Structure formats: structure tokens, C-alpha cells
Amino acid sequence: MSNQERDPRAVVTTVDRDDNFRMLEPRDVPLGGPRAMDVRRTLPQRGKSLIGAWCFVDHYGPDDVAETGGMVLPPHPHTGLQTVSWLFEGEIEHRDSTGAHALVRPGELNLMTAGRGIQHTEVSTNVGRILHGVQLWTALPDAHRHMDPQFEHYAAPVLEFPEGNVNVFIGSLAGGSSPVEVFSPMVGAQVDLHAGATMALPVAASFEHGVLVDAGEVSVNGKAVPRSHLAYFPPGDDSLLFEAQTDARLILIGGEPLDEQIVMWWNFIGRTHDEIVEYRTRWQTEVVSGATNAGHFGVVPGWIGPPLPAPTMPTVRLKPRA
């Protein structure tokens, strides 16, 4: 998914440690177009830009695509990150410059590794009227951020428990493990709880965690988490206690704190202001201007139409902050 804000917020962070629980409130961001589909963004935001290597959380829907036009994202670039696409309802068609062409369906993961640079498209299909899901990004560690781009698709099996179900799409949790390749210790899963259930879910104590509530009334470690909010839990706990007052659906993310400075602007992750400027310049000159058919970001086979132009860079240099 592209960050289509006209004036995207720059995120520049040194080691982003936090030893306190906090509730991250969503902000509405239109996804573009005359009938823009709104997404609710909880990460990054002021004061909290990373949970492990997870650096971006967008939550959207239930969205009636007949009313909004759904998701239509033309070719746009990414660097230095992995995109994690996960749906609750609907279907999205994905194409990228590795040649990958795949559908995103509920319970199935699309994992795109941008590495040194990639471009891709995402378009909702006519399967069902409702589009509903999350788009997540993870920052690649410095040792891997210049790797060649790649793509993986994985159908996560449902792990059934008396209290509810767990789908592990990244890492390992609750006896389940995902085979997709990630580049720092992390976890990502959907957790569905039955009304009245209490589930103590073992987690890695070295991880910090975030819990996004998609539906239902639920508390985590005694904290009530409203819908579309992201609850942050620092490292130290070896389990998370979920108590559901109604049927509930959650997204759990977590990972070891990323001990690296990152600079994130628009769809790019780098390490310095100058790197971001270089990525934007390459995108504009090689792709948007049509100067070449295959440059740093490659081409998306099968797409007819213009790419997404990059916003204007900020007027000040992006500098690390404490």
C-alpha cells in the first residue's frame, strides 16, 4: 500500500526505546481518489515510530467498494522495507516489478520485500462488496536493506483453541510458525476470541508488542483497547492476557527492538536525508517522467497507466531526534 498523503510526515528516529504501556490512537488518512477510501493509521506517530521492526500500521474497512471505488493504487515505489498485506474480507490483486502477480485473500499473506527498490500496484477486485484488512510495514535492518527485491505468498493455517483461533503469518506463536523470510526477530498474527473467553498467550519476553483491535470489546493485560487503537506493551512480559467481553478480532505484532536509526518519508525507508532525496529523484526521473523503461525500481508487467508521482520533499533536512 502507498502512503498517499500530499504532505507525508517524516519519521526520523534513533534507537526507539519505550518502557511504558501506551495507547496509540488512530488518525484518518484518505487513500486517494475522488471517492477516497479512508484508512486509520496508528503507526508511526509522534512519540512512537517502531514496535520491533514494525514501522507502519494502516487499518481499513469494512469498506463498501461500490460506494468508494475500493483500492486502486497505481505503480508506486518502496525501499528498505517489507510490506505485509492481510485481509479480513474482500480480495486485492497485487503486481510488482519482480514479476509477481498474486491475489490477497482473507487468511493469506502477501509479503513483499522492497530491499534496494521495487514498485508495485494494488487493486481491489469485484469479489464481494466489502474490503477490510490491514497493511503493515517492517523496516529492514541495515545488513539487508540493499538486498534484491522478492515476493512471497503464504496461506496461514488456523490454530484452534477453546478460547478462539490464531493465524500466525509472521514468525512463531502459540505452537504455529510461518515459513516466510523476515530479517529481524518478529511476530505477526491474527487472534480471534470467543465472547467471554480469557486467553493467556505466551510471547517472547525480549519482544515489544502491539495489539490492534479490529472488532469487539476486549482488554489486554487489564487494559481496555478500543476498536482501531493500537496498544503498546514494552519488553518484559512472557505472556499477554486477553479478556473478551464479546467476539473479538485482533492483530498482534511484535519484535525485538530495532537498534538502528531509520528515516521514513512517503514510501521510502533509508538512513539519511540524502538517501531519501536520491530515492525520490530516481523515481521521478526514471519512472514518472518516463525517461526509461527499467531503472532502479524496475517495471510492473501488465499495468497500463501512469505511475504515482512522489510528493514534494520537505523544505528542511530530515535529522535524527532523540
Section 274-301 average pLDDT: 89
Task: Answer yes or no: is pLDDT of 203 > 60.
Answer: yes
* Confidence (pLDDT) at 20: 85
pLDDT tier for residue 295 given thresholds of 50, 70 and 90: confident
Q: Tell which wins on pLDDT, 292 or 294.
A: 294
Q: Domain spans of the chain?
A: 11-255
Distance CA 276, CA 272 (A): 7
* Confidence (pLDDT) at 321: 46
pLDDT tier for residue 59 given thresholds of 50, 70 and 90: very high
Task: Answer yes or no: is pLDDT of 4 > 70.
Answer: no
Section 161-179 average pLDDT: 98
pLDDT (tens digit, 9 = 90+) per residue, 226-236? 999 999 999 99
Section 232-249 average pLDDT: 97
What is the Cα 296 distance to its own chain's centre? 23
The model carries a pTM of 0.93
CA distances from 13 to 56, 163, 256 (A): 14, 38, 16
Angle at 141 between CA 263 and CA 16, to 5 degrees: 55
pLDDT tier for residue 68 given thresholds of 50, 70 and 90: confident
pLDDT tier for residue 213 given thresholds of 50, 70 and 90: very high
Backbone angles phi, psi at 27, to 5 degrees: -125, 145
Given CATH 3.40.50.620, say whether it is the number of domain 11-255. Answer: no
CA distances from 154 to 105, 112, 167, 202, 210 (A): 10, 11, 11, 23, 22
Section 65-80 average pLDDT: 90
Helix (H, G, I), strand (E, B) or coil at 34: coil
3-state helix, strand, coil in the chain (%, to 5): 5, 45, 45
